[in-house]
Amino acid sequence: MQNVAADLAQMLGAERVLWEQEHLVTYGFDGTAALYGEAGCIALPKTTEEVSQIVRYAAKHRIPVVTRGSGTGLSGGSVPVPGCIVLCLVQMDRVLELDPKNLTVVTQKVAELAEAAGLLYPPDPGSMRISTIGGNVAENSGGLRGLKYGVTRDYVMGLEVVLADSETVVFGNKCVKDVEGYSMKDIFIGSEGTLGIITKVLLQLVPKPAAKKTLLATFSEMDAAAETVSAIIAAKIIPCTLEFLDKITIRCVEEYAHVGLPLDAEAVLLMETDGHPAVVQEEAQQMAEIARRHGASTVQVAQTSEEATRLSTARRVAFSALARVSPTTILEDATVPRSELANMIRFIQQVAARYEVAVGTFGHMGDGNLHPTFLTDEKNAAEMARVEKAMTEIFEYAVKLGGTITGEHGVGLAKKAFLPKAIGDASLGLMRRLKRTLDPDNLLNPGKIFD
Amino acid sequence: MPTPEELHEAAVRIGRSNPQGRGGASKYLKRLDYSVLQQCIHCGMCLPTCPTYDETKLERNSPRGRIALMRRVADGQLEVTQAFGQELYFCLGCLTCETVCPAGVRYGEMFEHARADIEQAGVMRNPQRDLVRELTLRWLFTRPQALRAVGRLLRLYQASGLESLVRRLKLTALLPSRLRALESLTPRVKRQFSDALIRPVETPADQKHRVGLLTGCVQDLVFSHVNRDTADALLANGCEVVTPRAQSCCGSIHAHNGELELARQMARRTLDAFDLDRLDAIITNAAGCGTHLKNYGHLLHDDPVYAKRAAQWSAKLRDIHEWLAEIGIRAPAASTPQTVTYHDACHLCHGQKITRQPRQVLAAIPGLKLVELPESTWCCGSAGIYNITQPEMSQKLLGRKISNIEKTGTAVVASANPGCSIQLQAGLGQASKAWRIVHPISLLAEAYREGLK
């Protein structure tokens, strides 16, 4: 591999190519539990031209290329294929243009830039403080605001992509309406680095909402929480946040953060509405009433921003609280239509009991995106096998309910085995044909999503 | 000031260095409870908060990257190489990663064990480094009397005018560049040390508590007045102050630099100096020491003689701000109008999670206006002896800190760690600023004295 590293060093300079063992180990994983692969070398390009040059070199020598941003993915999408070139794009982090007249920003990185201009870039995945915008687009990342604001795809207006043959193409523009042929950018959004390498992104921004109100409701029955969610939607309120914690998560959160949640509660709902102050005020009152009417044991409405922060703590620390319990934390994202949420949550609890594995579930109740979180130990082979079985059942049930095996984490390596059943042969076949067309030598992130 | 490119080059150079055929198996990491190593879920939340990763954007220079390496070493899949050693000494040990880690990873513990492995394997050894470590860690910092004697000599050099003569004649230019940098960092040694300033027992008229006071080593030489101020603040708040004579270094410098056995020796010696049963609390005013002192219980947990006392010690140990906030701060009578900003020492805010209490201390001073410092919890680059061992990175962080201080528009910077204070003082010198670097407790003690006038 030193030859490859030496050749790449000729292109980029020695300081932007890493091949020593002590470096390779640290690029062998992303945010996914128990997945590891060792690259041949790591390349750190700074420009689209450099990316194209590297891809041309890799194509010529038939070396796989695995693109990586900050490596926070949760399905193993950027875990190296043995011997590959890892194309790490963290140094391509310039914001090239912010256009407040057209509410767009051309960027290689999500920044707090929009905020400074009084605008909002709504997608807020848990990794938003470090993840790169290229990675977000490649995984079509979600976040807490999906119900009202949608996901990354809904904000991508244009892309620059380096293809497997090293050609650079640009899709989209600043026009809201654009029907020039196929919507090619949409093929690359969520493609997990298997179709091309995203080097520039043109994002749409929205005006920052003037006001926000936060509520926290606790329930002694799961169904009551689910019915509350349905009733809120039926009342034509679209909250920006509608988050949920189950019993195990509540206990872990309380033990860790002492936020005052009742330990006998079956469910906690965190609700937020944003927009015009008058509307926000009215919707908050309505949501509180709906929650009470559907049997909430307590409903707290934050009166100050400090109180809002305190209430949202329960949800914010959910993952931390669970991650502390066991050595290995496997975060899943089975997603179902909203109407099936209570069913799905109950099923997860039954499966966990049946396989004797600890699962805490929290997630985005408003958009049906759940995070069943397995608390286990990768060194315990017997338990890991039971986790695997439980997970399979959960995925199958989600599909049965008309849902998806992954709402926002992507397929990568972690959910590859479950994909054929979930989407069917015809759909998978078409994906394969598309992959072969764009990457005939199978060099871009091979073995991810499907083989 | 090095450019980002130069820094990057330095970081890469560290990566490039050849293990030179020397390496070794792990002894310390291997013995560490495996669950500590396993706790990292490599989610990457630590990346944006790590000062070294922020500069280089290389995974290896991040907490999760270092943990991956340490885990490999513990598993025996990676030898303790020189590159491993350089990486763990490139880490500041600022513990910001512990604050943001969702999984509660105990990075500090891993890091100390890794450095112990590195010293054990000898992969970083060279004659100059060996000599410096022998003279400082093994000799100077284990002998309180010798340390104070050296302090007195240094004082003589500084106060006699010899130092300014040497500087005027530019004789320092004869020193190797690294020593030259060190020379400019040399703090001013005080005329009197703590034992001369504080009586063994001082009792207030309205005594409610009895506490032991740690006077430290560097703190004692360079900031003995802060120790006096701490005693005064304690007395003003109804605490009898018991100050054992000729105290030793607490061993934090040893633990942070791969000398865990020496650290244990120093801990035992410090424990012996205090009659724990008769004290409500043990007070420290140095953040870096505080984190380590609170860890005595863990450090000596399998010591047949000291384990129990060490646990008791950890339970009673308090940072001065923490203690005052706990017992309620008596507001000084007089108003002392001034605008102050506060720098959070890493080992106070990350090591001990103490951020509120120092601000409470400052807020208790009538007339004092606190202006928050942007990025107040970002390391200043002092990091123990990091400013000596990694001058480039340290300078970069110091520059960032100084420019943040400039943004506050204040001329007084409160800082509760001797290392930070020396570093900030050096930074002010470089930036030709006449700011005042002061311990929050000194401001409080001044206000009490003002009230007595």
Return the pLDDT at A107: 63
Taking only Cα atoms into account, the Rg of chain A, rounded to an integer number of angstroms, comes to 23
Taking contacts as CB-CB distances below 8 angstroms, the residues of chain A near B23 are none
pLDDT band for position B20 (50/70/90)? Answer: very low
Residues A165, A141 share a domain: yes
Inform me whether the C-beta atom of residue B43 falls under 8 Å from chain A C-beta atoms.
yes
Inform me whether the C-beta atom of residue A31 falls under 8 Å from chain B C-beta atoms.
yes
Over residues A385-405, the pLDDT tens digits come to 999 999 999 999 999 999 999
Inform me whether the C-beta atom of residue B41 falls under 8 Å from chain A C-beta atoms.
yes
Taking only Cα atoms into account, the Rg of chain B, rounded to an integer number of angstroms, comes to 22
Provide the residue count of chain A: 451
Range A382-388 contact pairs with CB under 8 angstroms and sequence separation of 24 or more: A383/A357, A384/A34, A386/A355, A386/A356, A386/A357, A387/A330, A387/A355, A387/A357
pLDDT band for position B22 (50/70/90)? Answer: low
pLDDT band for position B13 (50/70/90)? Answer: very low
By Cβ distance, the residue of A29, A33, A327 closest to B39 is: A327
- Mean residue pLDDT of chain B comes to 91
Over residues B206-248, the pLDDT tens digits come to 999 999 999 999 899 999 999 999 999 999 999 999 999 999 9
A444 domain residue, yes or no: no
Residue where a domain terminates, one of B140, B158, B185: B185
A171 Cα to chain B: minimum distance (Å): 29
Over residues B50-92, the pLDDT tens digits come to 999 999 999 999 999 999 999 999 999 999 999 999 999 999 9
Residues B114, B234 share a domain: no
A139's tokens: 């995984």
For residues B347 and B324, what is the distance between their CA atoms, to the nearest angstrom?
18
User: Sign of the CA dihedral A365, A369, A371, A372?
Assistant: positive
Return the pLDDT at B385: 85
Residues A339, A301 share a domain: no
**Is B188 strand, coil or helix?**
coil
Residues A367, A352 share a domain: yes
Residues A179, A225 share a domain: no
User: Could you tell me the CATH number of the domain that includes residue A378?
Assistant: 3.30.70.2740
Residue A446 burial class via C-beta count within 10 angstroms: exposed 0-12, middle 13-18, buried 19 and up: middle
Return the pLDDT at A321: 87
Q: Write down the residue that tokens 């994202």 correspond to.
A: A333
Residue where a domain terminates, one of B326, B342, B364: B326
What is the share, in percent, of chain A residues with pLDDT greater than 90?
78
Residues A309, A374 share a domain: no
Residues B435, B402 share a domain: yes
Taking contacts as CB-CB distances below 8 angstroms, the residues of chain A near B43 are 31, 72, 127, 323
For residues A142 and A409, what is the distance between their CA atoms, to the nearest angstrom?
8
For residues B413 and B405, what is the distance between their CA atoms, to the nearest angstrom?
8
For residues A73 and A136, what is the distance between their CA atoms, to the nearest angstrom?
9
Inform me whether the C-beta atom of residue B48 falls under 8 Å from chain A C-beta atoms.
yes
A447 domain residue, yes or no: no
* Residue A53 lies in domain: 2-88
- Mean residue pLDDT of chain A comes to 93
ipTM of the complex: 0.93
User: Could you tell me the CATH number of the domain that includes residue A67?
Assistant: 3.30.43.10
> Does A339 score more than 80 pLDDT?
yes
> Does B1 score more than 80 pLDDT?
no
Residues B138, B110 share a domain: no
pLDDT band for position B365 (50/70/90)? Answer: very high
Please state at what angle helix B320-327 crosses helix B440-452, rounded to 10 degrees: 50
Inform me whether the C-beta atom of residue A433 falls under 8 Å from chain B C-beta atoms.
no
Q: How large is the average pLDDT for residues B180-187? A: 74
pLDDT band for position A116 (50/70/90)? Answer: confident
Residues B372, B310 share a domain: no
Name which of A184-188, A410-414, B11-15, B141-145 the model is least confident about.
Answer: B11-15
Return the pLDDT at B267: 97
Q: Write down the residue that tokens 């120790």 correspond to.
A: B227
A46 Cα to chain B: minimum distance (Å): 12
Q: How large is the average pLDDT for residues A261-271? A: 92
Residues B213, B268 share a domain: yes
Please state the φ and ψ torsions of residue B435, each to the nearest 5 degrees: -70, 160
Measuring CA to CA, which residue among A372, A379, A408 is closest to residue A393? A372
Q: In the 8-state DSSP scheme, what is residue A444?
A: B
A169 domain residue, yes or no: yes
Q: Are B270 and B397 in contact (CB under 8 A)?
A: no
Residue where a domain terminates, one of A148, A172, A207: A207
For residues A386 and A402, what is the distance between their CA atoms, to the nearest angstrom?
25
A103 domain residue, yes or no: yes
User: Could you tell me the CATH number of the domain that includes residue B281?
Assistant: 3.40.50
**H/E stretch holding A360:** strand A358-364
A441 domain residue, yes or no: no
By Cβ distance, the residue of A23, A319, A378 closest to B102 is: A319
Residue where a domain terminates, one of B106, B121, B136: B121
For residues B309 and A289, what is the distance between their CA atoms, to the nearest angstrom?
56
Residues B335, B322 share a domain: no
Taking contacts as CB-CB distances below 8 angstroms, the residues of chain A near B47 are 70, 130
Do A21 and B35 lie within an 8 Å CB cutoff? no
Return the pLDDT at B284: 98
> Does B274 score more than 70 pLDDT?
yes
B129 Cβ neighbours under 8 A, 6+ residues apart: none
* Residue B426 lies in domain: 331-452
**H/E stretch holding A369:** strand A369-376
Residue A375 burial class via C-beta count within 10 angstroms: exposed 0-12, middle 13-18, buried 19 and up: buried
Beta strands at A65-68 and A85-88: parallel, antiparallel or unpaired:
parallel
State the best of B12, B18, B42 to mutate against chain A, taking most chain A CBs within 10 Å: B42
Inform me whether the C-beta atom of residue B82 falls under 8 Å from chain A C-beta atoms.
no
Q: Are A438 and A196 in contact (CB under 8 A)?
A: yes
B152's tokens: 């007195």
Return the pLDDT at B9: 52
How many structural domains are present in chain A? 4
Return the pLDDT at B2: 45
Residues B442, B410 share a domain: yes
Residue where a domain terminates, one of A153, A175, A207: A207
Residues A163, A125 share a domain: yes
A249 domain residue, yes or no: yes
A132's tokens: 């790169």
Q: Where are the beta strands (DSSP E) in A130-275?
A: 156-163, 168-172, 196-204, 206-207, 211-219, 241-246, 267-275
User: Could you tell me the CATH number of the domain that includes residue A253?
Assistant: 3.30.70.2190
Do A31 and B62 lie within an 8 Å CB cutoff? no
A434 domain residue, yes or no: no
Inform me whether the C-beta atom of residue A28 falls under 8 Å from chain B C-beta atoms.
yes
Q: Write down the residue that tokens 């090591």 correspond to.
A: B351
Q: For residue A40, what are the β-bridge partners?
A: none
Residues B117, B82 share a domain: yes
Number of Cα atoms under 13 Å in the Cβ half of residue A302: 21
A254 domain residue, yes or no: yes
Over residues B96-143, the pLDDT tens digits come to 999 999 899 999 999 999 999 999 999 999 998 898 889 889 988 999
> Does B350 score more than 80 pLDDT?
yes
User: Could you tell me the CATH number of the domain that includes residue B82?
Assistant: 1.10.1060.10
Return the pLDDT at B6: 52
> Does A104 score more than 90 pLDDT?
no
For residues A124 and A131, what is the distance between their CA atoms, to the nearest angstrom?
10
Q: Are A209 and A277 in contact (CB under 8 A)?
A: no
Do B103 and A30 lie within an 8 Å CB cutoff? no
